[in-house]
């Protein structure tokens, strides 16, 4: 569905920031908060009077210092990506529609909504755990959750670039991959 299409949002410095929905992207462009760099050819959003081409990549017109926003509320899709869309209690693989986020230390007991206190859980496991810690529920976790950091955002964007090749040049993936291969080649020859 066109409304749920994702658009790559870049900072004014061309640094990848996030993925936004097509309607959000059009709103940013219409309000002149962002400009369109690439169109998502063939996709239109219709209003009663107009049809708007959906952007694929937009760039903010003013720079936002993302370092000052690093402790913002965690995005559920970033947690799912970190946990490889797998329940951290039983190992069930799912989608964003059938998975939930579980607070390791429940919110009602002082647990905060931070990456290190959140894990991906299927609905049956989340219901079974309830308002208890994994130890109290006798539900050991498969892995220890690690705090989100900027690199995880790059991993999520990299996965998205496999689906949307026009994003690759904005994610600097070619440069990144070339530097890895060059480093590996020099390590082998040393």
- Answer yes or no: is pLDDT of 40 > 70: yes
* Helical spans, DSSP H, in the chain: 22-30, 76-82, 123-129, 150-163, 173-189
Q: Tokens for 181?
A: 């291969």
- Answer yes or no: is pLDDT of 170 > 90: no
Contact by Cβ (8 Å): 77, 99: no
Q: In the predicted model, what is the mean pLDDT of residues 69-90? A: 78
| Better-predicted residue by pLDDT, 114 or 111 | 111
Give per-residue pLDDT as tens, 120-160: 999 999 999 999 999 999 999 998 765 544 455 666 667 77
> Pick from 88, 77, 97: which is nearest to 145 by CA?
88
**Residue 181: pLDDT band with limits 50, 70, 90:** very low
Percent with pLDDT over 90 in the chain: 49
Q: Which domains does the chain have, with CATH numbers?
A: 2-68+161-183 (no CATH), 75-147 (1.10.30.50)
3-state secondary structure at position 31: coil
What's the pLDDT at 67?
64
> Pick from 86, 93, 78: which is nearest to 155 by CA?
78
Please compute, for residue 119, the number of CA atoms within 13 A of its CA located in the half-sphere on the CB side. Answer: 26
Helix (H) or strand (E) holding 158: helix 150-163
**Residue 168: pLDDT band with limits 50, 70, 90:** confident
Q: In the predicted model, what is the mean pLDDT of residues 9-20? A: 89
Question: How do 6-10 and 51-60 pair as beta strands?
Answer: parallel
What is the value of pTM for the model shown?
0.53
Q: In the predicted model, what is the mean pLDDT of residues 173-185? A: 46
CA–CA separation, 161 vs 38, rounded Å?
A: 14
* Dihedral sign for Cα atoms in the order 120, 125, 131, 135: negative
Q: In the predicted model, what is the mean pLDDT of residues 52-58? A: 95
What's the pLDDT at 173?
59
**Residue 53: pLDDT band with limits 50, 70, 90:** very high
Q: In the predicted model, what is the mean pLDDT of residues 21-41? A: 95
């Amino acid at each position: 569905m066109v409304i749920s299409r994702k658009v790559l949002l870049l900072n004014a410095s061309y640094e990848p920031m996030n993925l936004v929905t097509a309607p959000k992207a059009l709103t940013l462009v219409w309000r002149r908060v962002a400009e369109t760099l690439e169109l998502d050819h063939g996709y239109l959003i219709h209003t009663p009077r107009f049809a708007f081409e959906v952007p694929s990549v937009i760039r903010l017109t003013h720079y936002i210092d993302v370092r000052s926003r690093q402790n913002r509320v965690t995005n559920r899709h970033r947690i799912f990506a970190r946990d490889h869309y797998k329940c951290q209690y039983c190992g069930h693989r799912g989608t964003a529609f059938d998975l939930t986020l579980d607070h390791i230390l429940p919110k009602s007991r002082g647990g905060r909504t931070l990456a290190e206190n959140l894990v991906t859980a299927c609905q049956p496991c989340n219901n079974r755990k309830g308002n208890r810690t994994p130890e109290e529920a006798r539900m050991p976790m498969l892995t220890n959750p690690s705090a989100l950091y900027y690199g995880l955002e790059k991993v999520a964007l990299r996965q998205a670039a496999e689906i949307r090749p026009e994003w690759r040049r904005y994610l600097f993936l070619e440069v990144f991959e070339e530097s890895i291969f060059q480093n590996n080649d020099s390590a082998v020859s040393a």
